[in-house]
Every structure is written in structure tokens, then in C-alpha cells.
């Protein structure tokens, strides 16, 4: 059996460990492993090559993806998808393993319904915004990067008695900001999933300032578009000298954590165990600390929502 893997959409730490796991576990299961370079773009262009151990030597500790990634606009068009299908036929590839996020799975859902190519998706995105899974590969590393940055910012904020607004990534999802605010002891949180009450925040922090608070850290998810408004609020309403730090793409890189490395192997083992299932077009989900398969139609037709218990923990920082 020939199985090809590709990485698609925003890269995340954990992709390289998953690629190493793919090659090693494939050979141990008698599967012939192939790499498709440049994500869906490479599938269209036929950038396909048989993978062996030497391709994945020394990559486990690296962020990013050695086979590169892309966000393909061409894949929305039937003719390009047909071209992609012809490439798979040419190489005799039976099944695919897809490492990516929601956008990539939407594309694969359409591809499956066009040509019936079986695949297993592994959720990989720092946004952690995919329906059906509590955890996406790479999010643990991104959270550790943010934790490190917030710790550093707190050092300077406290030394200068300043306010800091720190913007995290996550597209429309507030997961990174929510978790980071809780574990770093932020004073304010703004995420798309929770309303923000500036008036209450002002009252709460003015009281704390009277009692001796000298600095403030606000974590704002990019999806809220509140970063500059928050800074203005801190300057004007709390009379604090304020700085903005937009963390940006540093959150996408870095040395994968132990958790992301181990999960890369677990996800891949589970994916390859089921790759030969009849009419497979599923994603491996990590739900309630167990791995399971979910039909890709269900994944792409539902919206991820944040865990209510986590939301409750963050809520007090929004008012
Ligand atoms: O989906 C991952 C992500 O990093 C989002 O958090 C962010 O909004 C987006 O990708 C940035 O995209 P790009 O790398 O294309 O600038």
C-alpha cells in the first residue's frame, strides 16, 4: 500500500515530529510512504517523492515543516483538483494523511467527494479551533512560546510601572489568549468568545491601583481587533503609560514541546492503523484524553467552541 503525507495551511511545531513518525511507522507496518511537497499546491503540481529514513533524520526537534506548506487557492477549482487526482494515480498512491487545519480539511472533503480518495486528517494548528478535538498538534508549543513572552513582558512592565497590551494569534478563535492569560496571571483578557466590559475593568483596576498595583498586562486575541482600543483605554482611563506587543509569527515557530512530540506519534499511529479502512475520510480527534475518528463532513460543518470551564476561568479578566 502506498500512502502519501502533506502539510497544509499554517505551519505548527509538531509537523516535523509527525512526518518522522509517518515514515518510521509506515515502514514498520509495511506501508510505502510518500511525501507531497508544498501542501495542496504540490499535490496539484505533482511534487511527490518516496520518503525514507534519511529524509526524516534530525528533524524531530525542529519547528515548521521540512516538506513545506501552502494555502492553495487553485484547489478551489475542479480542474486543478482533477490534476491533483491524476498525479496521485500516476504515482499509484492509494491513501493520504493530511496534516492541517480547518481550511485544508474543507478542501479534502471536496476532493474526497469528487474522486473518492481516502484520507485521514490530523488536526494541526496553533489556533486550536477545529471542531471535534480538544487539542490540535502544535498548540502546546505555541502556548509555551507565548508563556515565555508574557513572562518577559511582565518583567519589564513591573520594572517600569507600565501597562502592556499583548496581542496573540488565533484567527477568530480566542483559545491561545484565553489559556495564556490564565497561566501567566494577566489582569485583562479580550477574546472574540466573550464580551468585554471596559467600565467594570476600569473600576476593578482603579481599586487595585489605589491598593498599590503598579503595572498591568492585557492579553488580547487578534480576532477581537481590540488591541489599539485597549491600549487607548489603558492610557486614557487608567492613566498608565502603555506599550503594545504584537507577538505575530514568533508563535508559529520553535522547538516542539514533549507533549507535541508525543502526540505527533500517537496521532500518526492512530491514523495509520485506520488508513486502510473502507471509504475512510476522517480526522483523528483527541477528545476527553482519547483518540477517535470523526467523519470529515462533521468536522467541517460544525464550529469549534471553547471549553465552558476554561471560559469561566477567563471570564473574570474581561470585566
Ligand atoms: O492559522 C494559523 C495562523 O497563524 C493564525 O493564527 C493567523 O491569523 C494566520 O495563521 C496568519 O496567517 P499568515 O501566516 O498567512 O500570515
What pLDDT was estimated at residue 311?
A: 98
| Nearest to 146, CA basis, from 178, 190, 124 | 178
Residues 6+ apart with CB under 8 A from 8: 39, 40, 69, 70, 71, 72, 98, 99, 100, 101, 103, 104, 107
Say if residues 85 and 108 touch (Cβ distance below 8 Å): no
Catalytic annotation present for 127: yes
DSSP-derived secondary structure letter, 61: T
What pLDDT was estimated at residue 293?
A: 98
Q: Is the pTM of this model over 0.95?
A: yes
| Strand-pair category, 95-100 with 118-123 | parallel
Condensed to tens digits (0 to 9), the pLDDT of residues 211-243 reads 999 999 999 999 999 999 999 999 999 999 999
Condensed to tens digits (0 to 9), the pLDDT of residues 247-280 reads 999 999 999 999 999 999 999 999 999 999 999 9
Report how far apart the first and last C-alpha atoms of the chain are (Å, whole number): 56
In short, whether 252's Cβ falls inside 6 Å of ligand 1 is: yes
pLDDT averaged over every residue in the chain: 98
Point out the residues of the chain with pLDDT beneath 70: none
What pLDDT was estimated at residue 4?
A: 98
In short, whether 261's Cβ falls inside 6 Å of ligand 1 is: no
Give the number of the atom of ligand 1 that is nearest the alpha carbon of residue 223: 8
What pLDDT was estimated at residue 154?
A: 98
Nearest CA to ligand 1 atom 12: 10
Give the number of the atom of ligand 1 that is nearest the alpha carbon of residue 71: 15
Q: In angstroms, what is the span from residue 125 Cα to ligand 1's centroid? A: 9
Amino acid at each position: 500500500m502506498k500512502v502519501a503525507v502533506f502539510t497544509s495551511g499554517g505551519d505548527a511545531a509538531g509537523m516535523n515530529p509527525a512526518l518522522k513518525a509517518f515514515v518510521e511507522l509506515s515502514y514498520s507496518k509495511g506501508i510505502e510512504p510518500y511525501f507531497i511537497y508544498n501542501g495542496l499546491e504540490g499535490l496539484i503540481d505533482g511534487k511527490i517523492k518516496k520518503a525514507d529514513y534519511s529524509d526524516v533524520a534530525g528533524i524531530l526537534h525542529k519547528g515548521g515543516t521540512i516538506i513545506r506548506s501552502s494555502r492553495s487557492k487553485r484547489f478551489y477549482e475542479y480542474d486543478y483538483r482533477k490534476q491533483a487526482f491524476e498525479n496521485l494515480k500516476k504515482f499509484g498512491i492509494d491513501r493520504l494523511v493530511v496534516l492541517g487545519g480547518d481550511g485544508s480539511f474543507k478542501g479534502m472533503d471536496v476532493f474526497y467527494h469528487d474522486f473518492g480518495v481516502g484520507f485521514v486528517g490530523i488536526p494541526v494548528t496553533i489556533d486550536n479551533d477545529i471542531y471535534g478535538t480538544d487539542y490540535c498538534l502544535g498548540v502546546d508549543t505555541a502556548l509555551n512560546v507565548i508563556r515565555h513572552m508574557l513572562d518577559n513582558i511582565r518583567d519589564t512592565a513591573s520594572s517600569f510601572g507600565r501597562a502592556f497590551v499583548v496581542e496573540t494569534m488565533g484567527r477568530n478563535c480566542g483559545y491561545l489568549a484565553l489559556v495564556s492569560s490564565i497561566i501567566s496571571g494577566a489582569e485583562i483578557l479580550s477574546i472574540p468568545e466573550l464580551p468585554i466590559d471596559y467600565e467594570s475593568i476600569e473600576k476593578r483596576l482603579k481599586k487595585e491601583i489605589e491598593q498599590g498595583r503598579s503595572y498591568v498586562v492585557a492579553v488580547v486575541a487578534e480576532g477581537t481587533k481590540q488591541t489599539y482600543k485597549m491600549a487607548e483605554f489603558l492610557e486614557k482611563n487608567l492613566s498608565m503609560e502603555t506599550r503594545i506587543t504584537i507577538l505575530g509569527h514568533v508563535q508559529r515557530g520553535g522547538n516542539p514541546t514533549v507533549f507535541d512530540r508525543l502526540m505527533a506519534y500517537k496521532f500518526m499511529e492512530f491514523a495509520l492503523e485506520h488508513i486502510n479502512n473502507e471509504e475512510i475520510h476522517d480526522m483523528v480527534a483527541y477528545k476527553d484524553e482519547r483518540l477517535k475518528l470523526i467523519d470529515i463532513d462533521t468536522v467541517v460543518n460544525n464550529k469549534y467552541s471553547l471549553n465552558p470551564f476554561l471560559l469561566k476561568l477567563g471570564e473574570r479578566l474581561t470585566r
